[in-house]
Structure 1
C-alpha cells in the first residue's frame, strides 16, 4: 500500500503481522535459529534453485527469488534495500519511495500476536512508522486471551479462526472500532 500511487484513496486498512523485520527484531529466544534458517539456508537454496522450495521443506509455500531477496534484506530500513546492486536507486528516488507511504491517510488497525517470532512489536512498529499520515491502532493479542495455545505468524488466515479472530478486522473495517474486551491489548493508538 505504501508504494501504490492511489493509496490516498484507501478509506481503512487492516494488517495482520505486517512488518519490515530486521534480524534484530526476531524474537530473542528464536533469533539464532531464525538467522540460520532465513539468512543461510533460505538464500542458499534460492540461489541454487531459482526459488525457495518452502512447500517441499514444510516451512511454507514455494517462494519466488525476489520475495526471498526482500525478506532476507540485511538493512533495517526499507529504502536501504535499494541502495546497491541491480535494483539500486538514487537517494532522491529512495526518498520518493518513502514519501509515497505518507499518501495513505485512512486509519490503520495493525493486528499482531505475541507468539509471532517475525512480527515482534519492534518489527511491526518499524513498518508502521512509514505511514506517517495514517492514524494507527496497534492491537497485540496474546493467543491465550482468545482461548488458543498458539497462533504464530502464519496461522491467522486459517479458517479455524473465522468465528473468532477474523471478527476483529471485520468489525474494524465496518465500524472502525475495536471490541471493548480487547482494548487492554492496544499497545499504540495515535491520531496523527
Structure 2
C-alpha cells in the first residue's frame, strides 16, 4: 500500500501544505464580493441545496432594529448550504431582509424558502451590488447572528476557527439584505478526501 514515506512526502510538510492551501482558498472566499455559492460549489465539486432552519419577522426594541412604519418589517432567515449528493454542510448563513428595500418579487421568493438568496437574485436578473463589511475567523462558541445573538453552528466535529463574512446586498441606495456567512473549515479536507478515494479506487 502506498504511504507518505514511499512517495517521499514528509507528513509534517504535507500538513503545512494543506494548512496553506486552506488559508489561500478561504482568503479568496472572504475577499470576493460576488456570489460565494459559486465558489463553494466549485470547491465541493457538486451543486448545493439550501435548507431553511428558521425564517421569522423581527423588528422593534427586541431586535435592535426600529420599526420604520406600519407594514414595514425585517425578516431573519437562518439557513444551511450543503452538497446535494454528499449532504456535506459547507456554510451556515444568517440573513436580515429589509422588506422595504427588496424588490417585491424577490421578497416573495425568499418567503417561499425554495432557493438561496444569491441564486434567486441571479435567476431573476436583478441589478444589485454587494459591500463586504467584515471578515475574519471565530471560535465556534463565539458565533453570533446579525442581531448579536449566539448561534449554534451546524458543523460536526468542529475543531478549528470558523471563517466568516458579513456583507450587505443593495438594490438601490438603502441596504436590502444583510448577510452573515460562516464557512465550514473542513470543506477543503472533505474535497481532498474525495479525490484521494477516487485515486485509490481507480
When normalised by structure 2's length, the TM-score is 0.24
Query: Whose radius of gyration is greater, 1 or 2?
Result: 2
- Structure number with higher relative contact order (C-alpha < 8 Å, ≥ 6 residues apart): 1
- Per residue, is there more helix in 1 or in 2? 1
When normalised by structure 1's length, the TM-score is 0.25
